[in-house]
Structures are given as structure tokens and as C-alpha cells.
Amino acid sequence: MAKLGLCLLLLFSFHLIVAMATNPTVVIDSSTTNFIKTSCRATSYPALCVQSLSSYASTIQQSDQQLTQASLSVSLTRARLAAVFLSKMTKTSGIKPREYQAVKDCIANIGDAIYELNRSVQELGHMGKAGAQDFSWHMSNVQTWVSTALTKENTCVDGFSVQGMDGNLKVAIKNRVTNIAQLTSNALALASRYAARHKAASTSNVP
């Protein structure tokens, strides 16, 4: 059990360093900062939304598409890191059969979420200047796939709600996957906001 706790601590420290390295402090203008903050108010986790997207401000500028793309990319990256983390957990000394199965099920769910998020990123990236009808079709795909990814992530979290599991293992995995689910929830909200704003702009341009 001590080995399990040490392994979890080392993995947490490693991924904390990675997160800090991949989220550098950047100098951005106030208009871009305000755009991100205002957009994030539409999400369920606005503070997390702003924190996770601030380092992409120079790319986002004031583009709803780039904002949504960045939020999807953040969720996808965190999901991939979680998959690596979970895979290592299955090889940890002292893991119980019930815990092992829960981790394996979670790996499958996170794998499905990665697939859905990845094709959402690609779909959004290929949209370009799509016409109103094509835009709606593409965005409907993105929203459906991101929603499916969120369901898969929540299913993983639910799998660790049962009694009798190692506390450290359960907390480490639930916290990590819950964070991904919150990021995915934010991405879905921003995608929906993008779709609504695009529709409103298209309607206002109709003679």
C-alpha cells in the first residue's frame, strides 16, 4: 500500500510539472482577456475555463472558433495524459481486483472520450468559412461528439463511487477525471455559445 501511495505522489508531481510547463505566462492585451472572461461566463466552471485558456490568448484573440478549438484541445490533451496515468495505475503493486477492473473500465471510457474529442477538434478545424447550413451541420456534430465524451468521462468517475476501494487511488483518479469532465463541459458550453452567436449573426445579416 505504501508503494501505491508513493507511485501516486510521484505521478501527481510529474503531471503538475508538465502542466506548469505547458501553460506559460504570456503577456496579452486586455481586450483578449476580457473576451475570454466574458465567454467563460457561459460555462459551468468559469474560473477553470479562464485558467485553462489564458495561455492560448494570443491564438484566440477574439475568435469564437479559436476559443472553442482551444477549449477542445485542452480537454483532449488532459484526457490523453489521464489515459497514460490510468495505464500506469493498472501496473501498480498492491492494487485490488475490484480497483483493477474499475481502472480498466475507466481506461476504456477515457479512450472513447479521446476519440470523440479528437474528431470534434478535427471537425471544427475543417469548418473554415462554412455556409450557414453547413456550419449548423458541422457544429451539430461537434456538440454531439463532445456531449458523448462528457458522458464517457462521467461514467468513469461513477465507477469509483463504490465502497471498498483504496482511498488514495480513488481520490487521485476521481480528481483527475473530474477535472477533465469539467473542461469538457466547458468546451461543450463554448461550442454551444459559438453556434448561437453564429446563428444570431447570420440572421442579422439577412436582408
Whole-model pTM over 0.75: yes
Asked, for residue 25, whether it belongs to a domain, the answer is no
Q: What Rg do the C-alpha atoms of the chain give, in angstroms?
A: 19
pLDDT surpassing 50 at residue 12:
no
Computed over every residue of the chain, the mean pLDDT equals 83
pLDDT surpassing 50 at residue 46:
yes
Provide the CATH number for the domain around residue 119: 1.20.140.40
Indicate the pLDDT class of residue 205, thresholds 50, 70 and 90. low
3-class SS at 105? helix
Only one residue has cell 471498498, namely: 164
Q: In the prediction, which pLDDT does 207 show? A: 53
As for how many domains the chain has, the answer is 1
Rounded-to-integer distance, Cα 131 and Cα 135, Å? 6
Angle (deg, nearest 10), helices 167-204 and 30-40: 110
Q: Return the half-sphere exposure (C-beta side, CA atoms, 13 A cut-off) of residue 5.
A: 5
- Is the Cβ–Cβ distance between 10 and 100 less than 8 Å? no
Asked, for residue 43, whether it belongs to a domain, the answer is no
Asked, for residue 111, whether it belongs to a domain, the answer is yes
pLDDT surpassing 60 at residue 9:
no
Indicate the pLDDT class of residue 161, thresholds 50, 70 and 90. confident
- Is the Cβ–Cβ distance between 72 and 121 less than 8 Å? yes
Asked, for residue 147, whether it belongs to a domain, the answer is yes
Q: In the prediction, which pLDDT does 80 show? A: 97
